[in-house]
Structure 1
Amino acid sequence: MTGLLQQPGYDEERLKRVSELLPCREVQAGMLLSLMGQPQQYCYPSVFIYGHRSSGKSHVTNILMEELELPHATVSCVECVSVALLFEQVLLSFFGCDAASLLPRSPSLSDFVRIYRQQSSQFPAEQTRYIVSDTSPELLRDADANLLPALLRLQELVEDNVTVILLSEIVWETFRPNTGCFEPLLLHFPDYSKDELKQVLSKNKHPSYSAEFYSSYINILLGVFYSVCRDLRELRHLAALNFSKFCEPVEAGKAKVGDTHKLWKNIEPHLKKAMRTVYLREVSRCLSAHTHVELPYYSKFLLIAAYLASYNPARTDKRFFVKHHGKIRKTNFLKKNEKTSNHLLGPKPFPLDRLLAIFYSVVDSRVAPTASIFSQISSLVTLQLLVQISHDDQLDAPKYKCAVTLDFISAISRTVNFDIVKYLYDFL
């Protein structure tokens, strides 16, 4: 549906072009535009956009900035390994190399604000300037304590028409620094529905085949993978990877384009085989790609705690997670009849209170037992990383099992600098 975007101050042809480039995301683009207002008007100081991976956050924001030719600086908190690089990127994008060169070797926030104010007074903004952090902005929480609060109210500090847009996969309640800060406007991007995924994926049709034929292929693909994979990028990769197999009977003359049943029978075994390579939102990738799974920070530690609870006997928790447990003799700690590896026996169920106890022991910061932590446990169950084996109507606490492999949890552990092998009973 094109032509949906309407916002005073912007060229109608450009807005129409934006709508064409953002299928099934016109509503979110329109909401963001309404928050931004007209180009010459002062925008709200900061906007926090959140949603799951591949929900269109970066794509929508970048398309609006590029197509509407809005002055912006896109910064990656992964690439900007120091605040100096972040400050330099912003000044370079807005004012050029000369402004960036004014920064001292190890600039402070005050240096950045001072130089920005000098440059903005010489080159006043004719329209709102935007600073967009679209890669792991949660890393800002680990920087200087005053950096994130300052960015959220940068407009006030530099006295310029500038807005900071943060794109994140975690909710603001988890993102918010403990010291408190200026509250940004919140904008949620929901996941694509099945019909929306079909509409978006069908636009990438093969030039040798009709749109109807490719759409029927996408429909079959989603029927198989939608329950386990809703990542648009991964589904697009999967569609491109398997289309040649879907077309084999047609190219061999064994079926016609309209023989959907024959085409399905031909590709069904191939897709079922591909299902075994799909984990979470990953499709047809080797094991090394598991390091790219994106989970919120605390969800990673929850998953680590779940793995330890599944593969360590409960009686070993004191040995691993209590700092002053006293001396425990190895002969008493290791039972002689325990010769079979727990990893060969498979994951054991564990109660919720044990999961939380291990989580609070391994996480490297003080975390309050908020509803956010419990919602992240539910998300891990929804994503099939945890399996809930007790019913919701039971009076006792729910029990879970961890559903990931050792290689997978090792990759997750490396992203948070946690040596999980040291805490596994099988590797003593």
Structure 2
Amino acid sequence: MPGIGENEIWNLNPYKNHELGVLSTFIVPDTNICAPGIIVEGPESSGKTFTVIKYANYLRKKFDVKWMQIKCDYCMTRRRVLRKVLEFMEEILEVDPDYTEYRRRIHSSRQMSHCENLSNFTYVLKHTFGSALENKVKEVRSQTVLFVLDRVDRMLISEQIGELCGALTRLHEQDDLFQGICFVFVVNRADYLNLSTMSIPTIQFTSYNIEQINNIIGKKFVSDEWLEAVYRDLDSAKISKKQLQIFIRSFVEYIVKTYGSYFGHNIDMIIPALRRLWPAFYEPIKARGSIKPRVNDVLTTFMRKRRLLQTEYGLVTKIADENGIKVGDKFISRELQSPTKAKENNKMRYDLPLRTKYIVVASFLASFTDPKYDMVNFSKNRELRSNRRVRYKRRKTNTSNETMGTKLMSPKPFSLERMLAILRSVATEFDVGQELADDVQLQNDISTLTSLKMLIKMGAHDTIGGATKWRTNMEWSAVQQIANDVGFKIENYLQY
């Protein structure tokens, strides 16, 4: 049998040569020297799963090693993990599902068919080997069978993950038939499994550095398929593929450096932001039909829009601070669009029900309005309402809605009763059909906003200082958009 070539495996991931070398020491095609279990640990986006899968595919291509990846963050329970192991073993052993003896032994018991515990799993696995053809059993026993349990630490805590991993690692002790079965546990931290006393080999992955991240993402963005699509979309004879590759790599480098303090070394966070910001750099070269230095190159576009790119506008979320719009398959930041397109897409959409939007508006008003003006702002008294309209009219003529004064710089705490009173006044005046009598539903909505950090509960541990206070945790632009969605002129209620 040919051996594992160092140069061959190093090409699988050139940034993880050391880790691949250790991996190839413990996981080999020979069942006599292959480790029964191995732990691969490292932080997010350190290349753990990618490297292990690349190595497993290499073993399958060169040595015909059978392997399977089990995504434990989707399986969640040990029963589903064990069932996937059994199903794969049945597949490679080519067990006939119509085999009478096999069906009688395996499927007659509900506990065995569901594999609800490890003892049942071992029993069923033995009979799976016994129900297969002899030549298939010999073939499977002569080669390593690899199971990659990816993100096994994401399973439910109640499933006793450490016990499961320990039992699977000792599976070869139950019977000689299981000698060639190897399990790879991919986790963020190995101490979470509590297996330090079992002497299981552990390979530790470290995060990619910034230069490596630039190379990895740059290579991903200039992949042949994506580059061809962009090149065809440009449809310009003045731009070559080489120029486009240089442009894309420069774009990746600038964005990674700009948001490096926020991203850290997490590639999964970088790629979505690159996709959102790409149209801001791509549209100028598409409009001109060429890439010209000091006109529409990456540096010039970056410097022209640096005030927006260096803020949170490139890192929007789906609820509180969404300032972006999806146009087709592209995600474009609202502030990076042309004024015409921004006006056309002025209506924002949020994953919030109508009642919750009113609570957001009411909490913002409670934090940024003076309580002494509550009677003027929110009272049903006809005289006070007329005074309010006069004051609004005078305020509108002197103040722009686009700029906020110093009084809106920091939110002030308020009592829950005051916020609910403002909510009832606002909702009943501007949306008569909105029913607010359900106190239970109101409390649920407030709890939801608190869990989303859109509403902050203050003084929860102060047992002597009086009533609990609250304050809003929403920025002005997001609240203004929500108020516009419900047709509420929130600017008229704020003191500048």
Q: Which TM-score applies when normalising by structure 2?
A: 0.51
| Cα separation, 1, equivalents of 2:287 and 2:49 | 41
CA positional deviation for 1:257: 4.5
C-alpha contact 2:152 2:185 (8 A) present in aligned 1: no
Residues 139-218 of structure 1 mapped to structure 2, 5 A cutoff = 139=155, 142-143=158-159, 146-159=163-176, 160-169=179-188, 171-176=189-194, 182-203=198-219, 204-205=221-222, 206-207=227-228, 208=231, 209-210=241-242, 211-218=245-252
Task: Give the structure 2 partner of residue 228 of structure 1.
Answer: 262
CA positional deviation for 1:127: 1.8
Q: Secondary structure of the equivalent of 2:261?
A: coil
- Select 1:61's aligned residue among 49, 52, 58: 52
Q: Secondary structure of the equivalent of 1:315?
A: coil
Q: Secondary structure of the equivalent of 2:110?
A: coil
C-alpha contact 1:249 1:266 (8 A) present in aligned 2: no
Q: 1:236 to 1:344 in 2, by over 3 A?
A: closer
| 1:29 paired to 2:20 | yes
CA positional deviation for 1:36: 1.3
Q: Secondary structure of the equivalent of 1:75?
A: strand
| Cα separation, 2, equivalents of 1:43 and 1:150 | 17
Q: Secondary structure of the equivalent of 1:227?
A: helix
Q: 1:181 to 1:164 in 2, by over 3 A?
A: farther
Residues 312-323 of structure 1 mapped to structure 2, 5 A cutoff = 312-316=459-463
- Select 2:126's aligned residue among 104, 117, 120: 117
C-alpha contact 1:95 1:119 (8 A) present in aligned 2: yes
Task: Give the structure 1 partner of residue 71 of structure 2.
Answer: 76
Task: Give the structure 2 partner of residue 105 of structure 1.
Answer: 110
C-alpha contact 1:71 1:94 (8 A) present in aligned 2: no
Task: Give the structure 2 partner of residue 132 of structure 1.
Answer: 148
- Select 1:277's aligned residue among 315, 327, 331: 315
- Give the partner amino acid of 1:167: V
Q: 1:275 to 1:42 in 2, by over 3 A?
A: farther
More helix as a share of residues? 2
Q: 1:224 to 1:166 in 2, by over 3 A?
A: same
- Give the partner amino acid of 1:151: L
- Give the partner amino acid of 2:146: Y
Residues 269-418 of structure 1 mapped to structure 2, 5 A cutoff = 269-274=307-312, 277=315, 311-316=458-463, 335=466, 340-341=469-470, 343-344=471-472
CA positional deviation for 1:84: 3.4
- Select 1:94's aligned residue among 89, 105, 121: 89
Q: Which runs of 5 or more structure 1 residues have no equivalent in the other structure?
A: 1-6, 289-303, 317-332, 347-428
| 1:262 paired to 2:256 | no
- Give the partner amino acid of 1:76: K
| Cα separation, 1, equivalents of 2:121 and 2:78 | 10
Please identify the structure whose Cα radius of gyration is greater.
2
Q: 1:232 to 1:135 in 2, by over 3 A?
A: same
CA positional deviation for 1:243: 2.1
C-alpha contact 2:12 2:55 (8 A) present in aligned 1: no
Q: Which runs of 5 or more structure 2 residues have no equivalent in the other structure?
A: 98-102, 232-240, 325-330, 332-348, 352-450, 475-496
CA positional deviation for 1:20: 4.8
Q: Which TM-score applies when normalising by structure 1?
A: 0.58
| Cα separation, 1, equivalents of 2:181 and 2:149 | 14
Q: Secondary structure of the equivalent of 2:80?
A: helix
- Give the partner amino acid of 2:202: L
| Cα separation, 2, equivalents of 1:84 and 1:11 | 38
C-alpha contact 2:75 2:155 (8 A) present in aligned 1: no
| Cα separation, 2, equivalents of 1:217 and 1:345 | 33
What is the root-mean-square deviation of aligned Cα atoms in Å?
3.9
| Cα separation, 1, equivalents of 2:58 and 2:163 | 33
| Cα separation, 2, equivalents of 1:199 and 1:10 | 27
Deviation per CA, 1:5-32, whole angstroms, max 9, x where unpaired? xx962478xx74x655535234322321
| Cα separation, 2, equivalents of 1:223 and 1:339 | 42
Deviation per CA, 1:228-262, whole angstroms, max 9, x where unpaired? 11321221232233223113332233983444431
| Cα separation, 2, equivalents of 1:139 and 1:53 | 16
| Cα separation, 2, equivalents of 1:261 and 1:222 | 14
CA positional deviation for 1:181: 5.7
